[in-house]
Amino acid sequence: MASEKEKMLQGELYDASDPELITERQRARELVETYNRTAPDATEERRDLLGELFGFGGEDAYVEPPLRVDYGYNIDVGEGFEANFGCVFLDVRSITFGPMCLLGPGVQCYTATHPVDPEARAEGLESGEPITVRENVWIGGQAVLTPGVTVGDGAVIAAGAVVVEDVPDRVVVAGNPARIVRDLT
């Protein structure tokens, strides 16, 4: 029988109150709190903490505190990744950023979701769907990426946009729900 963590990572319904998952979220919160208290010039300390927190690529990432994550190890960032103040990553599944991705302040990436059926939701189970952000994407401040979306190469997500569907390469999307407002080809 699969553990709750295995179910979570496979996108199945799982119990987030499982002791192993609680311990892992606590570890992530401790690392994030340490990160959020670092001095602005603590470049090496920040790099080390992100390298320990992220699944892959924290070594050259630039992330302005404060930062919030669920687990951290499900976040992979490419070379040149930058995130401004106050980003939130609910990473019960993978959140993958390709090279040269830029995030404005308050960007939120949610892989976590709950059953739509109220009876199933009342059981307290949740699941998740991965988020993929390809290469050279700019995500404006306060934008939200919802479970399961993929953002194409060179795309721009306007500030405040709520992305609920995949975004093609080289377009600008805006609004709630986000819609294509400009082609960049």
Q: Catalytic amino acids?
A: 114
**For the CA atoms of the chain, what is the radius of gyration?**
16
Pull the structure tokens for residue 102: 């830029």
Question: Is the separation of the CB atoms in 91 and 130 below 8 Å?
Answer: no
H or E element, residue 118? helix 118-122
Contacts by 155-162 with C-beta closer than 8 Å and gap 24+? 155/184, 156/184, 159/104
> Which one-letter DSSP state was computed for residue 170?
T
* Residue 172, H or E segment: strand 171-174
Token digits of residue 164: 């609920």
Q: Which helix (H) or strand (E) holds 48?
A: helix 43-53
Q: Is residue 125 within 8 Å of 21, Cβ to Cβ? A: no
What are the Cα distances from residue 54, in Å, to 3, 51, 61, 133, 168? 22, 6, 10, 16, 26
- Both tokens of residue 23? 């311990």
